[in-house]
Structure 1
Amino acid sequence: MVGWACRGLRAVMKIHKLNGSARGRGGVAHPVYRHVELLRVLLAREITARTSGTVLGASWMLLQPALQTAAIWFLLQVVLRIRFPELQGGFTEYYLAGMVPWLMLSEIMLRSLSILQEYAPIYQRTAFPVALIPLLPPILSGAIYILIYLVVAAMFGGSVAAASSVIYMLFLLVWLLPVIYLLAIIGVFIRDAQQIAPFILTMVLYLTPIFYLPTAMPNWLAWWLLINPFAHIVGIAHAVIGGQPLHFGGLIGLGAIWLILAYPTWRMFRRVEPMIREAL
């Protein structure tokens, strides 16, 4: 698989004369628009690597999370029939509105920790725009979960909620970009991060109002809802699909986090890029 990928990537890079442009500077968009064809080859390689040997092939990338979401709906709506009187749309709608974005975010973040190691055999052998590689998880997982969330939003909120859900998920992907590059760096130089990250994300999930209402949080932990960015992300999701009130303070806080992280993280990634090649 690596040999096939390397041959394809070398061909594309030769066509686009990447040996001279791989050292270019600029923002995240710079390597994307300069190397669209290379990005397409990388995405195709990623899909093939994850679904090779299966009967349904690339369809599994959509079917797997879709079946997981359907199983959650069946458990909550048909079997448990959980009800909260204070919720207008019911607990199933409330839960899926927050859980589907969380599944996307957690999958992308975990994948970002190891993505550079997985592609090390490719970019170690030739001049290569390494900045493209961390974009693979958000592009693939984002496309899949946007479709799933679109269906969930249409089921519970109608066409307006469905359209809003697409904008919301795209907003999440853009917001996550600095985090993705930061995690990619951490995954290279602090290998233990890959081992502890699932536990940390599980604890953050339990401390984010997805399984329960914000009012269920103990008073001595109420401060956590204010500083937890994922609580604000879930709050926006409930406003988009469930009709819950939107707290603009959380939206402003997410924007502030993005502004604080975006430029420093990108500069850090470009500065440590030669070290990444050496470390791997």
Structure 2
Amino acid sequence: MFKEIYYFCHDIYQNKKLLIQFSVNDFKSRYAGSLLGIFWAFANPLVTVLTYWFVFDIGLKAPLTDGKYPFILFLLTGMVPWFYFSDVLGSATNVFREYSYLVKKVVFNIRILPTSKLLSNLIMHSFFILVALVVSVAFGIYPNWHFLQLFYYMFALMCFLTGLTWFTASIQPFFPDVNQFIAIIMQALMWGTPVLWSINQFSNPTVQFVLKLNPLFYVVQGYRDAFFGGSWFWENPTLSLYFWIVTLLLLVLGSNIFKRLKPHFSDVL
């Protein structure tokens, strides 16, 4: 059952130099045709954050958080993992169609293609982590030892995305409408994940339980704990266990779907 996951890890190690080169080229080519180039990679997410901040904090003054931290900082620390998740899911889902000329090459190991999207988006992800860190310091909230667990939550998110994108990328060549389906789900998921709000706003334990079933809750809350010096990840054993069970199931499902559909990719691409 876990054989495909082992092969994947082995392929990543064997092709690590090629994978890094692929990731760098992917990031460069994404904005190569525009006049301002890489500027757009940074501008769009920053405008999104500032828009949400202005509308909900300045305009509506909506009490979406518990007021413990400035809303702009609370928003930014939630948007950092969300941007990475949405960007990777969107780009990796189309990766086999985008690199169809490689899919048809028997000698090329296409198993590593979704991972190239994870790595190429890490460049932007690292930039926004730095922005959030600067804003945090500007508000007098300095990183402590808890900040180190950011690497754990980043790794957890990458594992979750690996399983998920194996599945979505494998079925996309056969069901192109999956992109539209993902777009709709992402709109609902954005509001069902504690990016703009705090779970402490809900006093009903049942509501909190349902919201915590979303695996992204674990990651987003973990990022905030890393920035704000909250709890360590091992202090939430139930949530940690649940997240990794879901992630493992996704990895098994995604790897097996990929294995079954891979021989037919060249027929539809």
Is TM-score (shorter-chain normalized) higher than 0.5? yes
2:194 to 209, 212, 217: 209
- For the 8 Å contact 1:187–1:193, the answer to whether it is kept is yes
Q: Does 1:276 align with 2:265?
A: yes
The aligned amino acid for 2:192 is: L
1:267 to 252, 256, 259: 256
Q: Once superposed, which parts of structure 1, at least 4 consecutive aligned residues long, lie more than 6 Å away?
A: 81-85
Unaligned runs of 5+ in 2: none
Aligned to 2:22: 42
Q: Does 1:86 align with 2:66?
A: yes
TM-score calculated relative to the size of structure 2: 0.79
Structure 1 or 2, whichever has the larger Rg, is: 1
| Alpha-carbon distance in 2 for matches of 1:125, 1:85 | 51
- For the 8 Å contact 2:84–2:121, the answer to whether it is kept is yes
| Alpha-carbon distance in 2 for matches of 1:140, 1:121 | 20
Q: Does 1:179 align with 2:164?
A: yes
Identical residues among aligned pairs (%): 19
The aligned amino acid for 1:97 is: T
Q: Does 1:27 align with 2:7?
A: yes
| Alpha-carbon distance in 2 for matches of 1:42, 1:151 | 26
The aligned amino acid for 2:125 is: Y
Aligned to 1:236: 222
Change in CA separation of 1:85 and 1:222 when aligned onto 2, cut-off 3 Å:
closer
1:224 to 210, 230, 245: 210
Aligned to 1:11: none
**CA distances 1:110-162 after superposition (whole Å, capped 9, x unpaired):** 22221111110233245211111111221111232123113313532423355
Q: CA deviation at 1:271?
A: 3.2
Q: Which has the higher contact order (CA 8 A, sep 6+)?
A: 2
TM-score calculated relative to the size of structure 1: 0.77
3-state SS of 1:190 partner = coil
1:150 to 83, 106, 130: 130
Q: CA deviation at 1:71?
A: 2.8
| Alpha-carbon distance in 2 for matches of 1:194, 1:91 | 32
Change in CA separation of 1:249 and 1:215 when aligned onto 2, cut-off 3 Å:
same
Change in CA separation of 1:218 and 1:158 when aligned onto 2, cut-off 3 Å:
closer
Q: Does 1:102 align with 2:91?
A: no
- For the 8 Å contact 2:75–2:195, the answer to whether it is kept is yes
The aligned amino acid for 1:46 is: D
- For the 8 Å contact 2:167–2:258, the answer to whether it is kept is yes
How many aligned positions are there? 256
Unaligned runs of 5+ in 1: 1-23
2:46 to 44, 67, 87: 67
3-state SS of 2:220 partner = helix
Q: Does 1:192 align with 2:181?
A: no
> Comparing 258-267 with 180-189, which one deviates more in the overlay?
258-267
| Alpha-carbon distance in 1 for matches of 2:47, 2:149 | 23
The aligned amino acid for 1:263 is: V
**CA distances 1:166-185 after superposition (whole Å, capped 9, x unpaired):** 44323321332111211111
